[in-house]
Amino acid sequence: MGEQLGGLKRTYMCGELTVEYVGKSVVVMGWVNSRRDHGGLVFIDLRDRTGIVQIVFSEQVSKEAFEKVQSVRSEYVLAVEGEVVKRLPENVNSKIPTGEIEIYAKNLKILSKSETPPFPIEDRSNISEAVRLKYRYLDLRRPSMQKNLITRFKLTQAVREFLNDNGFIEIETPMLIKSTPEGARDYLVPSRIYPGKFYALPQSPQIFKQLLMIAGFDRYYQIARCLRDEDLRADRQPEFTQIDIEMSFVEVEDVLDINERMIKHVFKKVLDVDLDIPFRRLSYQEAMERFGTDKPDLRFGMELKDLSDILRESEFNVFKNALKNGGSIRGINVKGAALMTRKQLDELVEFAKNFGAKGLLWMQVLEGEVKSPATKFLTEGELNKILERLEAEVEDLLLIVADKDEVVFDTLGHLRVEMAKRFNLIDESKYEFVWVVDFPLLEYDEEEKRYVAKHHPFTSPKDEDIDLLEKEPLKVRAKAYDVVVNGTEIGGGSIRIHDTELQKRMFKVLGFSEEEAWKKFGFLMEAFKYGAPPHGGIAYGLDRLAMIITGSDTIRDVIAFPKTQNAVCLMTDAPSEVSEEQLKELHIKVDL
RNA sequence: GGCCCAAUAGCUCAGUUGGUUAGAGCGCCAGCCUGUCACGCUGGAGGUCGAGGGUUCAAGUCCCUUUUGGGUCGCCA
């Protein structure tokens, strides 16, 4: 059994001891990072969240402590009382901040023993995700994970600081809410009191924040947990956190402006990075045409170029069909990549097919010739114009896709990023922010055979496009915006509809009958009747933002207890079966 | 739901064309060591090769099924 503290007080954290403390009697507490036993002399590196300090045990200092330390092993929890001593110059460890001093141990308490941990508690070993998640509390003991969670904390502090100073009020909204159509699959919670009825867990506080605006809170924020029952990715967890913000009496520019200032504040506070504001702005249309995506990575060029006009008269069937079907022909220029092998090129074609492209046309621009499966189908004039349009030079690789616009953009957009990664074109030290604005309000859902909201059904159309709502729904642009950094969408929002009539028209376009709309969103429509201010806001993916700021590859590394790709918690084994009694109480029969 | 990668000692991995008793580094255990800090030296323990089935004289290795972890497309307003 471990010893009790017995009144012993910690006086310093391990990482804060420096030469300034030489001569002081101190008490430190922490975990054994490592033990180096030299027989007559034992070194222990003691670790807490602030760092590591070396403790020296020898018979001369304390026979009792020296004898006690013989049994100490990795990850034992110790309290050490001793004197801070300056190390001899030849013994200084310049790799750690406390490396100029050490503690001569006079008194040792073994507060807790530890079995040998399943993996070493250090940053340099890369342990499989499964083992890390099963022993998450040990994984979180590693310095890099501690740093990540502390950075995340600083991030939320900086956000709160800014919003508090700018008149925003933090308000909580319910977790047990009404299930509404549209959007992601809900997590459901059965009601015990009302057999057969369910609450939903919120996908976001969207409707509640709008109701808070109607209630007159004017500026609201919340760091809110959101839940969506959809398939996971490196940057998606079933539960995640949003920085949720809403403001009254504002237009698009007002929202963008205050958010730029907030992001600038946060980056300064957390990373000491000075961002230039205002951020660049791109319309959705322009983002798609130049980068093939609505979340462009602006740290490098390689922009898409439209070749349709050049190939208008082409006899090549691939081009002809694409244009005939209302599509386009576009390409990118991968500088200096011409010398790829045939196998690598074939792999690129396969890569392109992932995004629905039927093929990918490559052109190797070589000294005096262009190697490509397409050259024989092109006139010399066409070829030269393509080279000119893509600013091709010797050793460049041109990649061309002809298809529906949607497929062309998606394929080239992904190829652009993939090639930039392969050829190391990305400056990792940069933060390239951009607002993508003027999103389409609606898109057509082939499965459901109806229009669906691209953002959400409360998003306001642009004033000048309102009249197109019924006539040409796909042409209506929204007062919606996303903030993108380095190719990752970290936040998005919109100015909302605050008018009952317009909201009704919107529901109608979405294919809801009056009754349906009223049944699902009646409380909101009702609220609109009593004086709704113009309002809008934004929501950030806090986890993604933390991922960017810490330079992590996955949001799991900035979440204390994440789930696997199959939405399982390996530590607690959730989800799990529940007792018959629990099910009975909820009037639920499991049908497997 | 589709596609791709991985699974061998506690951890990270190697294991050739199917062929003797499955290896390495780290960790662990024991002994030695008063200046290490990825301590060192000597010795030792440790394996259901993810699981099931098949082919074969013989399977970690080939085939099928399956489970788990990861990546990705669909999906995620």
Instruction: Please state, in angstroms and rounded to a whole number, the distance separating the CA atoms of residues A300 and A248.
Output: 37
Residues 6+ apart with CB under 8 A from A364: A338, A339, A340, A370, A371, A372, A397
Nucleotides of B under 7 A from a protein CB: 1-2, 10-13, 26-29, 32-40, 68-77
Q: What is the ipTM of this complex?
A: 0.94
Helix axes A143-165, A252-271, angle to 10 degrees: 140
Query: Closest nucleotide to A356's CA, by C1' atom?
Result: B73
Query: Closest nucleotide to A232's CA, by C1' atom?
Result: B76
Q: Within 209-238 of chain A, which residues have Cβ less than 7 Å from strand B?
A: 228, 230-236
At CA A542, angle to CA A539 and CA A547, rounded to 5? 140
Residue A383's identity, in one-letter code, is: L
Nucleic strand B under 7 Å from the C-beta of A3: no
Mapped onto helix, strand or coil, the DSSP state of residue A420 is helix
In angstroms, how far is B14 C1' from A135 CA? 27
Q: Residue with CA nearest B1 C1'?
A: A231
Nucleic strand B under 7 Å from the C-beta of A179: no
Q: Within 79-98 of chain A, which residues have Cβ less than 7 Å from strand B?
A: 87-88, 90-93, 95-96
What tens-digit pLDDT sequence spans chain A (592 residues)? 789 999 999 999 999 999 999 999 999 999 999 999 999 999 999 999 999 999 999 999 999 999 999 999 999 999 999 999 999 999 999 999 999 999 999 999 999 999 999 999 999 888 999 999 999 999 999 999 999 999 999 999 999 999 999 999 999 999 999 998 778 999 999 999 999 999 999 999 999 999 999 999 999 999 999 999 999 999 999 999 999 999 999 999 999 999 999 999 999 999 999 999 999 999 999 999 999 999 999 999 999 999 999 999 998 999 999 999 999 999 999 999 998 888 888 889 988 988 989 889 999 999 989 999 988 899 999 999 999 999 999 999 999 999 999 999 999 999 999 999 888 899 989 999 999 999 999 998 888 888 999 999 999 999 999 999 999 999 999 999 999 999 999 999 999 999 999 999 999 999 888 888 888 888 999 999 999 999 999 999 999 999 999 999 999 999 999 999 999 999 999 999 999 999 999 999 998 7
In angstroms, how far is B7 C1' from A149 CA? 30
In angstroms, how far is B16 C1' from A32 CA? 43
Nucleic strand B under 7 Å from the C-beta of A133: yes
Which neighbouring-strand residues pair with A481? A437, A493
Q: Within 448-467 of chain A, which residues have Cβ less than 7 Å from strand B?
A: 452-457
